[in-house]
Chains A and B, each alone.
Chain A
Amino acid sequence: MSETSSSVVESPPRELPPMVYREPTLSERFFDRFFRGLTWGLAWMTVVLVVGMVVLISVDAWPTLRDSGGREFYSVVWDANRNEFGILTHIWGTLYSSLLALLLGGTLGVAVAIFIAEDFLPSKIRLFLKNLIELLAAIPSVIYGLWGIHVVIPALRAGLHYFPSLLADFSGPSMLSASLVLAIMILPTVTALSRDALESVPPRLREGAYGLGATRWETIRKIVLPTACTGILGAIILAFGRALGETMALAMLVGNSTARDNPLSFNPLLPGQTLAALLANNFPEASDPLQVGALMMAALVLLLITLVVNLFGALIIWRASAQFQGLRS
């Protein structure tokens, strides 16, 4: 044994392939530089793109804003024939429909995430479920819209038949129909990100809880969820950002109108309007510069809302992952 090992030590070091020793050639060096520059440039380009978009939209929106002095923000009347471009109802509808969707989709999504992350199921089935839910994200928005029109609305109507007083208010396309479909659309976002948050809870916390005699339910409720809650909150906020910007399905389902006497209604059975649907509905036919300006302004408001929400969500997720850096290693 020892003899062989010493012979190994004494033998001259095995010749390493020359590749390792060789200095990078000029072309390799050039390529490295070039590639570095390329990624650097492309990364900055995305920043330039976002800033450029904001600037261009603002430039187009400016004439309308200047002429009206910003009355768009508190007016509830959109009447292109009379150059009235109030977007307060649209801002309200955007936030309300998204919050409603978040309430439904968020609860469902987090529950699904717990179910998938906390080995209740054999791993093969878990994988299958996880992929199935992520597949929801691949369905085009217009398909969700059609599904809403032809399945969700008739189903809601059938359900509401048992409540005649509610049915009288129900208009078909409404905040409720839109939010229900929206809830399903944001499900993959909530589930995938919450699952990540749950799985990044350090195993030693879980083991410790079991060690102290906690039941599985207690562990999930008192240890896992509180630890993952920042990440889950981030997931929910990112999903909120997605819900705010959803266009096609909402344009098809939200009803695109508001009650005259109560434009900022909380009643989810009534139709509403959203900023994104307003844009989708009116851009193709808008030719008057004032109207285009008003639409640009609506776009800017939407952009700012989603930007703020997404930044907020990203910040929370970033803090959540930083929190566990020490625990995991």
Chain B
Amino acid sequence: MPARRIFAFLVLSLTLVGSAASPGCSGGSNAVDLQGVGATFPNPLYQKWFGDFHSAHPEVRINYDPQGSGAGVKQFTDNPEIDFGASDAPLSDEEIAKVRSKGRDLFMLPMTAGPVVVTYNVPNVPRDLKLSRKALLGIFLGKITNWNDPAIRESNKDNPNLNLPDLKISVVRRSDGSGTTYAFTRHLSAIDPDGWGKGPGFGKAVNWPVGTGSKGNDGVTAQVKQNEGSIGYVELSYAARDEKLGMITLENHAGQYIKPSLKSAQVAIDGVKLPEDMRVSVPDPEAKDAYPIVSFTWILVNKNYPPAKGKALKDVLKYCLTDGQKQCEGMDYLRLPADVARQVLQAVEAIQP
């Protein structure tokens, strides 16, 4: 009677699992489940933070579902089951008005930031190819179409050994809506308000003048890697992880050429002033050693919660903004500057449990 035996086994194992699980649960009569939805970019860091917090406070369980920034905003606004959202782009005034129209109010809490790097694949060209702002714009506007263009040579004039090939430039960009695109196009709009700003403009997806679209950071990385002559933009960790990919040294606001790294990106956000609504952005940082393209990412929370949830969420956020910040660098994210973190903490304190 194998069927019966299997059934018995199932019942037995279920009982065992049940009894094993119950002591854990009985300790957590005040267990709290927090549901979050949002951006994919900070997902690895958030999972680490929430996992670590859960280990220290087993009664608080946090589920973070990285469906994307748009989903984060939408679900946070419309779905009462969702306790917090996350987005790589700050909410627009209309989006905020929509949340308020439901009789709620929200905080947008910057949690971390990361550099967006321009990655390329050109045979025989050393890793640190330089591009001036003009050359970068020209390439992504489709005006510069060959790697031996004078504007690119001009950017690298301090490197006489550089042998730029006669090779067509193929631009690779994201096909899906993304916070990475938002940060990159925000920068291009800031450095060229008349050309790029009035042309494609900025957003999570724009109408690109040139290039092919690939899905996700990994899609862009794969295509740049396989395609000689291609250039694209990704989050730092995707290009830094891969030895075959070069990263462009970009010209910043001060006219300096800066290699992308966590350190140079940290400089970009270190002096930043946090505005009242915390919609902070540095589309074109001014510091001399600052890497020019850096994007923040936000967690969206209500100003009012039921007591148990409110307290748990405040504890989690406090952990992320204090001890949690130490995890950032090891995972290719930027630490919030100390006074920014302090201001965000004040907002967290103001959440009504």
Contacts and interface: CB of A to CB of B under 8 A. Distances in A.
Given A81-B203, A81-B207, A287-B73, A281 B222 contact: no
A284 B211 CA distance: 22
A255 interface: yes
Contacts of B177: 80, 281-282, 284-286
B203 A80 contact: yes
Given A277-B175, A284-B71, A287-B70, A172 B170 contact: yes
A71 interface: no
Given A77-B207, A153-B226, A173 B74 contact: no
Interface in A266-308: 271, 277, 280-282, 284-287
Nearest to A285: B177
Nearest to B213: A256
B110 interface: no
Interface residues of B, number: 36
Contact of B176 (A80, A173, A282): A282
A171 B169 CA distance: 10
Interface string B209-243: 11111110001001100110010000000000000
B71 A285 contact: yes
B226 A80 contact: no
A150 B221 CA distance: 12
A135 B210 CA distance: 39
Contacts of B170: 171-172
B272 to A, nearest CB: 25
A255 B202 CA distance: 21
A1 interface: no
A319 to B, nearest CB: 41
B185 to A, nearest CB: 9
B219 A252 contact: yes
Nearest to B73: A287
B292 interface: no
A82 interface: yes
Contacts of B200: 81
Contact of A271 (B67, B212, B222): B212
B297 interface: no
B319 interface: no
A47 interface: no
A20 to B, nearest CB: 29
A78 to B, nearest CB: 7
B212 A257 contact: yes
Contacts of B215: 251-252, 256, 280-281
Given A77-B207, A149-B222, A281 B175 contact: yes
Given A172-B170, A173-B214, A284 B175 contact: no
Nearest to A171: B212
Nearest to B176: A281
A154 interface: yes
B287 interface: no
B178 interface: yes
Given A284-B177, A285-B176, A287-B73, A82 B226 contact: no
Most buried by B among A257, A282, A286: A257
A284 B204 CA distance: 11
Contacts of B70: 284-287
Instruction: Identify which of A153, A168, A256 gathers the most chain B CB atoms within 10 Å of its CB.
Output: A256
B42 interface: no
B68 A173 contact: no
Interface in A224-270: 251-252, 255-257, 260
A78 B207 contact: yes
A143 B74 CA distance: 30
Nearest to A153: B226
A150 B222 CA distance: 8
B68 A284 contact: yes
Contact of A257 (B73, B204, B208, B226): B208
A157 interface: yes
A157 B213 contact: no
Contacts of A260: 209-210
Contacts of A172: 170, 212, 223, 226-227, 230
A78 B222 CA distance: 25
A257 B206 CA distance: 12
A141 to B, nearest CB: 12
A282 B205 contact: yes
A79 interface: yes
Interface of A: 77-82, 84, 149-150, 153-154, 157, 168, 171-174, 251-252, 255-257, 260, 271, 277, 280-282, 284-287
26 contacts: A79-B206, A80-B206, A81-B200, A82-B207, A84-B207, A149-B219, A149-B223, A150-B226, A153-B226, A157-B226, A157-B227, A172-B212, A172-B223, A172-B227, A173-B223, A256-B213, A257-B212, A281-B176, A282-B176, A285-B68, A285-B69, A285-B176, A285-B178, A286-B70, A287-B70, A287-B73
